[in-house]
Structure 1
Amino acid sequence: MICCLNPDCQNPINPDDNQFCQSCGNKLVLLKNRYLPIRPLGDGGFSKTYLAEDRDKLDEHCVIKQLAPQIEGTKALKKARELFEQEAKQLQRLGQHPQIPTLLAYFEEDQRLYLLQEYIEGKTLEQELAEAGPFSEDKIRDVLFELLTILKFVHQQKVIHRDIKPGNIIRRPASAQGYEKKTELVLIDFGIAKQLRATVMANITGTTIGSFGYVPMEQMEGGKAYAASDLYSLGTTCFHLLTNVHPWDLWKKQGYRWVNSWRKHLKQPVSEQLWWIMDRLLPESYQHRYQSVDQVLEVLELQSAPPANPSKSTSKYHESFLNFL
């Protein structure tokens, strides 16, 4: 099968021998005489993604990302192109990490921009949640360790992901060739990533930076993102996986006040240590959250929960937690 790359096509799947789309009449193409689109994967406000085969690599699967902004106006379109190019540059730099997709190519063809990247086999954590229900605390701890390790690398490159959520985390199966670990989480979709301390694009009507429910206050209202912003999104992701309650459902009723009572939605008890970590990931104000990945890892690696009042402690906890209060 071959897939039509007209972003407005309603029925893009075609037989291999078709030269033109049977639905919209658009010419069917082999990008760069190499990449064959075979089916749609998804779409967002800026782009559409397709599963493809790389004819130069024995039909190995890869992902085509096509710039298809659902916005109007010269200024907005120019900004969308800048962000798309920025994504390619960031993937080129971040792709050194084995748990971030590798950039394969970036080019313009038939007046459209395309980004080609590694295809990650596996299921998203959103799919896992739908199939198996709420995660156990042990499983959440594994997610935290792996994601924090990835985010440490990302933040060291002066990049903020800005859209961490269960649907953007893929668990690569043990059968994936070349990987020794039993499973491995991969963080995808850096399409709205932004350099540290930089503000988001301004005045693009109808554009949401991040996914509703997982977006912190400073990102939603002020258009700014910090390391603590990604940590908030990681906290809401863990909350969703622990409870099977979508944070957007709570936000629609309570706004950011829901973070003050997240514990009442738990389906099973969790340790005081995890309570502490979640309480420091989820504050509405970014100044009251953990400020770096290392701070979270330091707490996560301890064998028990911190004391209720670290200021009165003379133990290791005093040094580790006093600065977080």
Structure 2
Amino acid sequence: MDIYCTRPNCPKPVNACPDLDTGGTIKTISQKFCVTCGMPLFLAGRYLTEKPLARGGFGAAYIARDRYTPAMRRCVVKQLMPLGLTGQQLEIAKQMFDREGEVLERLGTHPQIPDLLAFFEVQAGKDNFFYLVQEFIDGFTLEQLVEQHGAIAEADVVEIMSSLLPVLQFVHDHGSIHRDIKPSNIMIRKADQTYFLLDFGAVKQVTAAAAGQKSTGIFTPGYGAPEQMRGDKVFPSSDLYAFAVTCLYLLTGKEPDDLFDVNTNKWNWHSAIAVNPDLVRLLDRMLETAPNMRFESAKDVLDALKQIYAPTSQTLTQPSQTSISAPSQVPVSAPPAVVTPPPAPASRRVASASPPPVQAARQVPASPSATPWLLSAPLGNQLFAAFLIGFEGMLLGLVAYYVGFAQIGMQPSLLILGGVVLSILWLRISQILDNKDLLIFVNVGTILAVVGLQLFAKLPQLQSLPSLENMALMSAIAGFATVTCMALFRLIFQLLYSFL
């Protein structure tokens, strides 16, 4: 079986472990380590990560197996991944991560909130990594459903509301505010069509908030209530506002920015869909700008909803399940909550400081992390590659100077030299060539070609080449010069990136 290394920026995270496929080795072996970076592969001694699910600004999530369960139960492992953060940002990220573990432990008793299975720290060398393990929900999000099939019928939206309003009431009754309600954080489990509320990394503790305490600005643009965008104190009605925006998205299939009129600072969605006028009034009240003008609790919204639909509808009889079928082309998996950096307070039309977590959940980027490629690769690998490219460039430059200039002229020789060096550089950056390939196939290959031509070719220009020792010395000097330039450029880039 293959085990995926969770160390950020591990250049080759997939580890083939064929010995775990036979006998009872997987249950008895104490530990395995990544052959590339030495990271422990059995997290907390029991969780084996199979593949990445999502990456965000501060975190990553993986599908994993619990080897200490009879059927190797699937679970979601979330990792705090603080790359390129300032001390203050790191502290905020750690607080958010700890908060999610605490909240999941308390709220996971609800059947529509994923259970917390473990919360631990792993030390690898000088680095500390923080993890939480969560119940895996095999299903699809409401965002995926709308993206595949468009707007959802009114009856199904009422069913969704009747299912999740009790969950919100449960969260609020336990002294918490979710603060990031949106379609990508609502999942329908395939097995029994039950709705789940995800992503508790942004949960606010009401009991810990002093009167008038400011919000840290954690929300998704378009869904956050006005008080959240101003950075003011949040309320349970702030979740009701975001839930109403979610319902507008489900009913119309349009993004919030397409339904909000910035000229009048009001929602303009009535003409986009024809629904029960009483439902329109209910949603409009949930969308009031002032928190005290909205419903006070999720229970009040549910009671109003029952009054509207109870005489004619059966949608409220089984509030935790849905008849909505899975979208045919959406990958059925659990997009986990990924810890994301808190964006600065902004207006409704201004994008957040980091992409919403669901963008990472929908499509895992090919690179190991969201850090720019120049900073993501290990420093030693980059500097060694710079030396090899500088060495190769000087070697080819000597051939161009002593042979190319005489044979085809200076300008064509320089063009060919530049094209070859840039091609080698591009192949290394795109990881088509690694450092071993550069050393063996490029550098050693070029040296052997030059020596072979000197011995067997009749060209007099080849005999005028410097001795092999002098060529090696000049190439080595060029390699070290390239290393110096690379280190300086990386330092400058890192400083600029930290400011931005």
Normalised by the size of structure 2, how large is the TM-score? 0.54
Which residue of 139, 144, 156 maps to 1:139? 156
Which of 125, 139, 143 is the aligned partner of 1:126? 143
- Please provide the CA RMSD for this pair: 2.3
User: Which amino acid in 2 is paired with 1:147?
Assistant: L
User: Are positions 1:195 and 2:209 aligned together?
Assistant: no
How far, CA to CA, are the matches of 1:168 and 1:299 in structure 2?
Answer: 24
Q: Which residue of 1 aligns with 2:90?
A: 77
Query: In structure 1, how many angstroms separate the alpha carbons of the residues matched to 2:290 and 2:241?
Result: 10
Q: CA deviation at 1:79?
A: 2.9
C-alpha deviation, 1:32, in angstroms: 1.2
Determine the structure 1 residue equivalent to 2:432: none
Higher relative contact order (CA 8 A, sep 6+): 2
1:190 partner letter: F
Structure 2 residue aligned with 1:112, among 119, 129, 134?
129
What is the one-letter code of the residue matched to 2:169? K
Distance 1:243 1:156 in 2: 31
> SS at the partner of 1:40?
strand
Is 1:302 the counterpart of 2:307? The answer is yes
Residue aligning to 2:282: 277
Unpaired segments ≥5 residues, structure 1? 176-181, 203-207, 306-325
Deviation for aligned residue 1:8: 3.3
Q: Paired residues, what number?
A: 287
Query: Residue type matched to 2:265 in 1?
Result: R
User: What displacement does 1:66 show?
Assistant: 0.5
Query: Counterpart of 1:165?
Result: 182
Moved more, 63-72 or 192-201: 192-201
* C-alpha separation in 2, matches of 1:145 and 1:71: 42
Deviations 1:265-286 (A, max 9, x none): 22xx210121011111112222
C-alpha deviations, 1:113-140, integer Å up to 9, x for none?
1111111111111111112211000000
Q: Does 1:64 pair with 2:72?
A: no
* Partner amino acid, structure 2, of 1:264: S
The structure 2 residue matched to 1:292, chosen from 287, 297, 312, is 297
Larger Rg belongs to: 2
Q: Distance in 2 between matches of 1:142 and 1:10?
A: 46
Give, as a single letter, the amino acid of the residue that structure 1 aligns with 2:256: P
Instruction: Work out whether residues 157 and 247 of structure 2, in 8 Å CA contact, stay in contact via their aligned partners in 1.
Output: yes
Superposed CA offset, 1:176-216 (max 9, x none) = xxxxxx521000110010112734665xxxxx611111111
What percentage of aligned pairs have identical amino acids?
Answer: 38
DSSP-derived class of the 1:100 partner:
coil
Distance 1:96 1:226, change over 3 A: same
Aligned counterparts of 2:82 and 2:271: Cα–Cα separation in 1: 40
| d(CA) in 2 for partners of 1:302, 1:237 | 21
Instruction: Determine helix, strand or coil for the equivalent of 1:301.
Output: helix
Structure 2 letter corresponding to 1:60: R
How many Å apart are 1:27 and its aligned residue?
3.0
Amino acid at match of 1:54: D
Match of 1:148 in 2: 165
Mapped contact 1:49–1:66 kept (Cα < 8 A):
yes
Q: Which has the higher helix share?
A: 2
In structure 1, C-alpha distance between the alignment counterparts of 2:244 and 2:35, rounded to whole Å: 44
Please give the residue correspondences for 1:1-325 in structure 2 after superposition, counting only pairs within 5 Å.
Answer: 1-9=2-10, 12-17=13-18, 19-20=33-34, 25=37, 27=39, 29-57=41-69, 58-69=71-82, 72-110=85-123, 111-173=128-190, 175=191, 182-196=192-206, 198=209, 199=213, 209-250=218-259, 254=262, 257-259=265-267, 261-266=268-273, 269-303=274-308
Structure 2: which 5+ runs fail to align?
19-31, 311-500
CA spacing shift, 1:248–1:68, aligned 2, 3 Å: farther
| Kept in 1: contact 2:104–2:114 (CA 8 A) | yes
1:210-236 alpha-carbon deviations (Å, 9 max, x no partner): 111111111111243211100011001
Offset of 1:304 from its aligned partner?
Answer: 5.9
Name the aligned partner's letter for residue 229 of structure 2.
M
Q: 1:97 to 1:304 in 2, by over 3 A?
A: closer
Is the CA contact 1:214–1:233 (under 8 Å) kept in the aligned structure 2? yes
**Conserved in 2, the CA contact under 8 Å of 1:71 and 1:77?**
no
- Aligned partners of 1:248 and 1:70: how far apart in 2? 31
CA distance in 2, matches of 1:133, 1:78: 40
Hey, what does 1:313 align to over in structure 2? none
Mapped contact 1:256–1:284 kept (Cα < 8 A)? no
